[in-house]
Structure formats: C-alpha cells, structure tokens
Amino acid sequence: MGKAKKMHGYKEFLLILPFIALVAVFAYYPLYGWIYSFFDYQPPLPFSWDSFVGVKWFKMLFQSKSYISQTLTVLRNTFAMSGIALAFSWLPMFFAVFLNEIKLRPFKKFVQTAATLPNFISWVLVYSVAFLLMSNNGMINSVLKNMGLIDRPIDFMKDSSHMWFKMWLWLTWKNLGWASIMYIAAISGIDEGMYEAARIDGATRLKCIWHITLPSLLPTFFVLLLLNISNLLNNGMEQYYVFQNSWNREYIQVLDLYVYNLSTSKPPVYSISTALSMLKSLVSLALLFAANGFSKIVRRESII
C-alpha cells in the first residue's frame, strides 16, 4: 500500500516536473547573468578570470558626487512616478464599480471598450499621436491659433513642468480600462442575494456600493496593491523612452530607462547596467517583504 502511494507520489511529481523546469529555465537560469556585473565584459572577447573586477561597478555607481546625484535623481523619478500611480491605484476599482452601475447595456459596453482599447496601442504610436496633437504645428496649436486665442504656438513638448503628473495622465488613459477588468470580474462574483436583501431592508444604491460592493472588492484591491508595491521600481521604460527629450530628461529618466540608456550606448556598458539592475532586484525584494510585513500587521494575513 505504502509502495503504491509512493509510486503515485512520483507520478504526480513527474506531472509538475515540466513546470519546475520552465521556472528553472526562465526564472532562475537568467540570474546566472548577474555574473556580468563582477567582470569587465567586452564582447566579443569571452569571459576570463583576467577580467574579474569584483565589486568595482557597484562602487562606481557611488564613486563621486555627480554619479550619486544622478542615481538619486533616477531613483527619485522612479519612486515619484510609481508613487503617484500607487496613490491612485483605487481608480480602476471605482471605475469598475461605477461602470457596473450603468444600467444601459450598450452604453456600458461602449464605455468599457473605449477605456480598454488604448491598452492595445503601443507607446510609440501614443507618442506619434501626442506629437501630432501637441507639436508647434499640431492640432491643438492650430485650433487655438485659428480661434485667435494665441498668436505664438505653445510649446507643449518642451514644457517640463508637472512632468510626473502628465506621465501619470497618459498612463491612466492607457491603462484604466484594462486595470479595471480584474475588479469587474470580482464584482460579477458577488452574491446577488446580498443586494436583494439590502434593498428589501431599504438600502439605497450608494449604500449598496459602500456596504457590499466595496468591502467585497477590498481583498482583490489589497493583493493588487501589494503586488504593485513590489513592482514599484519596475515602472517600465517604453513610455518614458518615447516621451524623453532634452528638456524633460531630468524628471522622466526612471531606473529602467537609465539601465536601458546605459546598455544601448555605444559601446555598451553591460557590466554597470547589470550591476544597477541587480541592485534594483534587491530593493524590489526588500519592498515586497516590507509590504507583506505591513499587511500582516494591519490585516493580520499575509499574501505570501
């Protein structure tokens, strides 16, 4: 009997083996690439112990005031933009709730589709649209000029004020519909009976939202929030890459973009950008544990 059970165990292990292999290949094997940060790697010359430099690149990131302040600026931008996004992370939830309250089905479908669609447009195209709208000969300036409101075009693209907020607006325009899908799914899972009972007891629509819908969505919200916190440093780079120019780089260069700019320079500096992205992973890990600890204290349950 025991033997049969053991065999069964082996068989089941075989079933998950492919997935373990996948994780090993795609999640753990790439970590081997971290080794680049301890060498002076210059392709096409192969690795050799002669090019081992220890923690030189990590030191270099902090070698002088200028480098430190550059790294700090990049970190500031990263945290600021992720922070704004985090502070407004309730927006998709409310969007889903309000969308759910629309009773006219065709209108509801239209709003949802219109809000989700931008998610499928690449950032490169978004920038072309932005340029067509906001360049000096763009649509907005032409319209304002024709209406006689301005006589010199407004230079939107070179304006670097409120850059973080503007970037957040673009991000929200692109992501809001998509991010709310999770909540729409969660809402459809709420027991209809609760609403009926509440209505019999005389609850208004707002009260239903406040006492039934929102509390049912909170667990989803917190899971997503914690995941977002651990992703704080990963705010992507495509958006910032396409929008960056000489006037706004000081505010727009985030960590991922900085790493990208370093590794695609000519000649590329793979080693130092690896070191930088390694630091990033460590900070992300720390943030995840911190958020989880916070969750344990506040909600008395952990997500990991």
Partner 1 sequence: MNIKKRLLSTLAMAFIASALLSSCGGGGASTNSTNAPTQTTEVQTAGNDISSESASNDASTAEPSPMTIEVYSQPANFQGEQPGWTGKMLKDKFNVTLSIIAPQAAGGDIFAARSAAGFLGDIVILDNADIQSCIKSGLIYDFTKEMETFQSFDEYKKQLDYYNSSLEGVSPGEYYAWPTEMTNTSPTSFSPTLPGVPGVAPTVPWDYFREIGAPQLKNLTDLIAALKQMQDNHPTNEAGDPSYGITLWPDWDGTSIENVNQLTKWYGQEVNGSILLDTEGNMTELTDDSGAYKKILQFYFDANNAGVVDPDSGTQNWDSVNSKFNSKRAFLIWNDWQQGFWNTSARGEGGENYIMAPVDDMSIYQPSDSFYGSGRAFACGTDDTEKKERVRILLDWMSSPDGLETIHGGIYGFNYVNAPDGGYDQTVEGESALMNNSPVPDEYGGGLYADGMLQVNQWMASAVAINPKTGESYDPRRWTTTVEKGKSTTSREWVERYGEENPVAYLEKAGQLRVVPFVNVNLVPDTSDISVIRTSCGPLVCDASWKMIFARDQAEFDSIWETLKTDLEGFGWKELVQFDKDKYKALVDERTKALAQ
Among 3, 65, 103, 300, binds partner 1 (CB under 8 A): 65
Among 268, 279, 287, 303, binds partner 1 (CB under 8 A): 268
Residue 183's alpha-carbon distances to 96, 97, 112, in angstroms, are 6, 8, 13
- Closest by CA to 236, choosing from 259, 262, 270, 220, is 259
Q: Work out the number of other CB atoms within 10 angstroms of the CB of residue 220.
A: 17
How far is it, in rounded angstroms, from Cα 227 to Cα 232? 9
How far is it, in rounded angstroms, from Cα 137 to Cα 149? 15
Closer CB to partner 1, residue 261 or residue 292? Answer: 261
How far is it, in rounded angstroms, from Cα 8 to Cα 14? 10
Q: Which of residues 136-175 bind partner 1 (CB under 8 A)?
A: 136-137, 153, 155, 157-158
Closer CB to partner 1, residue 65 or residue 103? Answer: 65
CB of 75 to partner 1, least distance (A): 16
Among 245, 281, 289, 302, binds partner 1 (CB under 8 A): 245
Among 21, 45, 143, 286, binds partner 1 (CB under 8 A): 45
Closer CB to partner 1, residue 113 or residue 264? Answer: 264
Closer CB to partner 1, residue 24 or residue 45? Answer: 45
Site map (CB under 8 A) of partner 1, residues 116-135, x = contact:
---------------x---x
71 binds partner 1 (CB under 8 A): no
Closer CB to partner 1, residue 217 or residue 272? Answer: 272
Beta bridge partners of 39: 52
Tokens of 279: 């630091």
Long-range contacts, 121-129 (Cβ 8 Å, 24+): 121/174, 122/238, 123/238, 123/239, 123/241, 123/242, 124/238, 124/242, 126/170, 126/174, 126/239, 126/242, 127/242, 127/243
Query: HSE of 76 in the Cβ direction (CA atoms, 13 Å)?
Result: 10
The DSSP-derived string for 29-46 is GGGGGGGGGGB---TTSP
Amino acid (1-letter code) at residue 73? T
Among 77, 213, 235, 271, binds partner 1 (CB under 8 A): 271
Among 44, 106, 189, 193, binds partner 1 (CB under 8 A): 44
Asked if 81 and 167 count as a contact pair (C-beta separation under 8 A), the reply is: yes
Among 95, 251, 260, 270, binds partner 1 (CB under 8 A): 270
Closer CB to partner 1, residue 65 or residue 105? Answer: 65
DSSP conformation class of 52: B
Site map (CB under 8 A) of partner 1, residues 200-239, x = contact:
----------------------------------------
CB of 38 to partner 1, least distance (A): 13
Among 249, 279, 283, 284, binds partner 1 (CB under 8 A): 249
60 binds partner 1 (CB under 8 A): yes
The residues binding partner 1 (CB under 8 A) are: 40-46, 60, 64-67, 70, 131, 135-137, 153, 155, 157-158, 245-247, 249-250, 261-262, 264-272
